[in-house]
């Protein structure tokens, strides 16, 4: 099996977060084993945090060289929004929170943060060339998924979440698969559909 300790970005914070994530997420560990078997590149598209204050949570990453260039995802109807930060040579950083006003009452983020805090990754997204093939092989290996793929075949961005790992009876972290076809950003509606699917827990 590929040693994820060697999946490093010369950033001690990012490297430590990913080491803890791979150790605690069975679907992600299965993906690593599958990528070795199938000779897939092990490429992390982005990593994601849930928090109560995006600017506060992102500050240590800004101090480490991440930059915010105005890229956001907003979904007021479901009570949450996000900022995307980027750093050359590192995965994109997707940081989300509930709105501070009444809109935020609809969001599932505060309950997750109350349970697990702000220090753990909610998910890491693994970039794949063929998301349908990856899903098929991961299902054969026992990985459950939280819902259908978002994004149509041949579209610029296709994504899916695994069913959540369970910690203390609650939905915890997920694995994301991401297929990109000439597009580096995020679609608001797709991000929200993934957000809603993240409450599905794996069966065992």
Residue 94's domain is classified under what CATH number?
Answer: 3.10.180.50
Q: Are 97 and 109 in contact (CB under 8 A)?
A: yes
Residue (of 118, 202, 119, 133) closest to 167 by Cα position: 202
Which of the residues in the chain have pLDDT under 70?
Answer: 1-6, 204
Tally of structural domains, the chain: 1
Percent of the chain with pLDDT strictly greater than 90: 94
Q: What is the pLDDT of residue 4?
A: 61
Q: What is the pLDDT of residue 1?
A: 43
Task: Give, in degrees to the nearest 5, the angle at Cα 41 between 131 and 45.
Answer: 65
Whether residue 203 is contained in a domain is answered as no
- Give pTM, 2 decimals: 0.95
Enclosing domain of residue 133 = 4-197
Whether residue 202 is contained in a domain is answered as no
């Amino acid at each position: 099996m590929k040693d994820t300790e060697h999946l490093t970005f010369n950033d001690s914070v990012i490297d430590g977060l990913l080491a803890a994530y791979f150790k605690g997420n069975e679907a992600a560990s299965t993906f690593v084993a599958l990528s070795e078997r199938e000779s897939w590149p092990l490429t992390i598209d982005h990593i994601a945090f849930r928090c109560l204050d995006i600017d506060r949570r992102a500050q240590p990453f800004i101090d480490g060289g991440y930059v915010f260039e105005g890229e956001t995802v907003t979904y007021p109807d479901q009570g949450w929004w996000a900022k995307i930060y980027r750093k050359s040579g590192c995965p994109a950083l997707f940081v989300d929170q509930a709105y501070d006003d009444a809109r935020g009452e609809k969001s599932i983020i505060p309950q997750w943060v109350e349970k697990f805090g702000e220090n753990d990754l909610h998910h890491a997204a693994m970039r794949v060339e063929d998301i349908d093939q990856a899903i098929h092989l991961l299902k054969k290996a026992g990985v459950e998924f939280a819902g259908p793929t978002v994004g149509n075949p041949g579209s610029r961005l296709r994504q899916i979440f695994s069913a959540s790992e369970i910690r203390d009876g609650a939905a915890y972290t997920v694995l994301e698969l991401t297929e990109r076809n000439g597009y580096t950003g995020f679609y608001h509606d797709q991000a929200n559909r993934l957000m809603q699917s993240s409450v599905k827990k794996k069966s065992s």
